[in-house]
Chain A
Amino acid sequence: MALKASQLTIGHTHRERVCENLSRTQIVQYAGAAGDYHPLHTDEVYATQVGGYTGVFAPGMLTMGLTGKMLTNWAGDTRLTKFGVRFTDKVWPGDTLESEATVSAIRHENGEYLVDLTVSTVNQDGEIVVSGRATVRVDP
């Protein structure tokens, strides 16, 4: 179910809710799977009393992973050729995140159709937590 270049136009947007009411347990789950054990992400006592934060917060790479899920759900498996983001704001337990991709260019190169996307993820207050770009390979 790959995307088709002939059915996409510049400005076309896809949006997906990638996380609802983020739990501390999901942050722990991510830390364990990814091997990111920094206590700022999983240790509320450390994060507040030593780190000076209001609590634990998600590793940026969890937010990038959630954002990537939107891309692969939309463009299909094995279709991503490039994916890059900037981490623009923190993600906290309780956050609900929506990821969005917008077509910025459609290219035909070396017999392949490539679609460039601008990508962002926002929290429930509309604050952008990651923003970036991706390129996906699509069908004609």
Chain B
Amino acid sequence: MPNITFPVEATHIMMFARAIGDDNPVYRDTQAANETEAKGVIAPPTFVQAVAQFDPQQVRPRPGEMWFGSGKSPTGSTDKPASGGSLHAEQEYTYHRALRPGDVLTVEMENGKVWEKQSKRRGTSKLIFRERITTYRDASGELVITARNVGVTILPLVDAVLGEG
């Protein structure tokens, strides 16, 4: 996977903090933030998930391309919906220093372990877990955040429609 460049911007942090209903001024008000221990605006703990905005492979509508969400019909996709897409099972962050507007992160993703479990849910056979380690480094190469993500794919017994899960 090629590295991603993720410029961290104040407005983006403000919008992200609003979205999690966090009114802490340290995420939006430079003057107030300067008087806190953070000594300036910082990003909330899960902000780096917004790297999705800079990931060329991220699912999002693109001009001139089919979008699989609803429009005239419930889906724009003519393909049969993939039975059992990947769901987010686990997420873990290790923080090396506070993330601030102005940081330009180099983001490197590496696939980690893969393991399986038998599924207990009716109509499904097994669960496949896939780990991914993402490192976020600043312009001087120092680690800012390390993230570990686990996705789970639920395999259907035959071709059952994936239920709640």
A pairs with B: yes
A contact residues vs B (CB 8 Å cutoff): 2, 18-19, 26, 29-30, 32-39, 42-43, 45-46, 49-54, 59-62, 64-66, 68-69, 71-73, 76-78, 80-87, 90, 132
17 inter-chain pairs at a CB distance below 8 angstroms, sorted by A residue, are A18-B21, A26-B21, A34-B19, A34-B53, A35-B52, A37-B61, A43-B69, A45-B74, A51-B81, A52-B163, A53-B164, A61-B91, A62-B20, A65-B46, A85-B91, A87-B89, A132-B92
- Alpha-carbon distance between A26 and B18 when the two chains are bound, in angstroms: 9
- Alpha-carbon distance between A46 and B75 when the two chains are bound, in angstroms: 6
Query: Whose C-beta in chain A lies nearest to the C-beta of B21?
Result: A19
Kindly state whether residue B58 has any CB partner on chain A within 8 Å: yes
> Which residues on the A side are within 8 Å of B81 (C-beta)?
50-51
- Alpha-carbon distance between A46 and B93 when the two chains are bound, in angstroms: 31
Contact B45 A68 (CB under 8 A): yes
Contact B90 A84 (CB under 8 A): yes
Given contacts A46-B75, A82-B92, contact A68 B16 (CB under 8 A): no
How many residues from B make CB contacts under 8 Å with A? 49
Given contacts A33-B12, A33-B15, A65-B19, contact A83 B70 (CB under 8 A): no
- Alpha-carbon distance between A39 and B69 when the two chains are bound, in angstroms: 5
Kindly state whether residue B148 has any CB partner on chain A within 8 Å: yes
Contact A82 B93 (CB under 8 A): yes
